Amino acid sequence: HFHDVLCLSEAKGMDINMEDLLLIEKLEAAVWAAHSLFERGKTAGSSANMSFRHNDLVYISASGSCFGTMCREDFAAVRMDGTPVWDQKPSKEWPLHLALYGKSADIGAVIHTHSTYSVLWSFVPSRSVSDCIPDHTPYLKMKLGTVGLIPYEKPGSEALFSAFRERIGDSNGYLLKNHGPVVPGKSVMDAFLFFISLLYKKLLRVPGNKSLAVESCFLEFSKTNPWGFDLLNSNVDNSSLISLLL
């Protein structure tokens, strides 16, 4: 689409604003990433949000938008202080995004979803809140770095934004407890690839044909006994319980 706009502008003898073309290219990349994540089952409904930085503005998915039907018009623009540029309402979690852009000028995009395995993993006790995903393979550390665990607070609340800002300097990516991952990158494509690395890191297979994330979380749920009966010693088939968790 970027090249189509360029060719059309040249054919009509129009002046080509390279900044506008770059913005279109970024919007197209964001739409592609949103559709890809939706098709992979990493988000559903309007639960996810993403953003990218362009000059002095941050373009963030609008409130209520769905990754599955995302288009270029589904992005609101805000200034770095959170002031909206036009009437379109940004995702309520825009402060998470702006906190990351304020952290480093190298961050050019942010992706946040409520992906199932990430939420499950956030229940697993971690030895380090600044590095909550173990080194089963080297790729996550090589591509993204450490992933910090952020304490649970209500989504969209100032308490969540405050907890996030308190730990933002301790890690490179983040996992909001009971909520989902927040992954930054230099560009939308960087953030997307880092995000995929984080997700598939937790899908490593272990004996018993269950993912490490599900097996670990099953044990943790069993200990906390959320349903009021003994999961470990009950006659309920474990596979049924895992299906219930997913």
Q: pLDDT value at position 66?
A: 94
Q: pLDDT value at position 208?
A: 45
Tell me the average pLDDT of the chain. Answer: 79
Residues 6+ apart with CB under 8 A from 206: 212, 215
Annotated catalytic, 93? yes
The more confident residue out of 184 and 220 is 184
Say whether pTM exceeds 0.85: no
Average pLDDT over residues 213-226: 48
Out of 10, 39, 73, 139, the active site residue is 139
| Cα–Cα distance measured from residue 36 to residue 41, given in angstroms and rounded to the nearest whole number | 9
Annotated catalytic, 73? no
Instruction: Give the tens place of pLDDT for each residue, 166-207.
Output: 999 999 999 999 999 999 999 999 999 888 877 765 544 334
Helix (H) or strand (E) segment spanning residue 166 = helix 158-167
Instruction: Give the tens place of pLDDT for each residue, 19-68.
Output: 788 999 999 999 999 999 998 887 888 889 999 999 999 999 999 999 99
Q: Where are the beta strands (DSSP E) in the chain?
A: 49-54, 57-61, 75-79, 109-112, 147-150, 173-176, 180-185, 205-206, 210-211
Q: pLDDT value at position 201?
A: 58
Out of 93, 117, 153, 174, the active site residue is 93
Q: Taking the mean position of all CA atoms in its chain, how far away is CA 118? A: 10
| Pair 233, 213: CB distance under 8 Å | no
Q: pLDDT value at position 69?
A: 94
* pLDDT > 90: percent of the chain: 51
